[in-house]
Amino acid sequence: MHLALRRVGFAAFVRCATVTVKELARLAESNGWYFARQCGSHRIYKHKHKPYDITIPDHGSREVRRGLCKTILKQIAGTWKKRQ
């Protein structure tokens, strides 16, 4: 896990009621993810060493809700496991 994610505090960040798309994108990029493409209103990020992509919805100035934010943060941190 990258230092920036530890500094923000994963648990404290998840408890946040409102998180913006810019904050999630900045956190992803600081942890080695890069912007690959955009499909409509969704930004797709890739990582050099991870086999999966991260999709961050970009619906203007609307915040990302807590449940989706938690899932995206798990993907950024690398603790996300694909369902079987």
Domain of residue 50: give its range: 3-77
Please give the single-letter amino acid code of residue 81. K
**14 lies in a domain?**
yes
- Split into its structural domains, the chain has a count of 1
pLDDT for residue 43: 95
Which pair of tokens denotes residue 55? 């999709």
* CATH at residue 38: 3.30.920.30
Which pair of tokens denotes residue 71? 């899932």
pLDDT for residue 16: 58
Which pair of tokens denotes residue 53? 């992509």
Residues 6+ apart with CB under 8 A from 69: 13, 14, 16, 19, 24
pLDDT for residue 3: 41
Which pair of tokens denotes residue 76? 């950024």
Q: Judge if pTM exceeds 0.85.
A: no
**84 lies in a domain?**
no
For residue range 3-61, list pLDDT tens digits in order: 445 555 555 555 556 788 988 899 899 889 999 999 999 999 999 988 999 999 998 88
pLDDT for residue 82: 59
**82 lies in a domain?**
no
- The total of other beta-carbon atoms located within 10 Å of residue 32's CB is 15
